[in-house]
Amino acid sequence: MNLLEKMNAEEFKKLLEYKEKKPSEGEALVKVLTETDFVIDLKVCDAIDLCVVLNYDDLSVFGFLFESFKSKP
């Protein structure tokens, strides 16, 4: 069962609304969710896109990734 099939109804509705507003981006995300079976297998960029679509404002969980590549004096 892929991630799209596992998605809760409320989140699925948000995805469909996003797809109506931004068809190409929405279709790309639907494709990723259809081709992926486990959340752990999502690419970081796809996970962030999904968080944005689902209105999860706190993306601080990904902060450590971005901090890892900042130059330190």
Structural domains in the chain (count): 1
Q: Is residue 54 part of a domain?
A: yes
Q: Specify if 73 maps to a domain.
A: no
Residue 56 clears pLDDT 70, i.e. is over it: yes
For the CA atoms of the chain, what is the radius of gyration?
14
Q: Check residue 13 and give its pLDDT.
A: 96
- Residue 19 makes CB contacts below 8 A (sequence gap 6+) with 26, 27, 29, 30
Residue 66 scores a pLDDT above 80: no
pTM score, whole prediction: 0.80
Asked if the model's pLDDT at residue 2 lies above 70, the reply is yes
Residue 27 lies in a domain: yes
Containing structural domain, residue 18: 3-67
Indicate whether 23 belongs to any domain. yes
* pLDDT reading at 19 higher than 80: yes
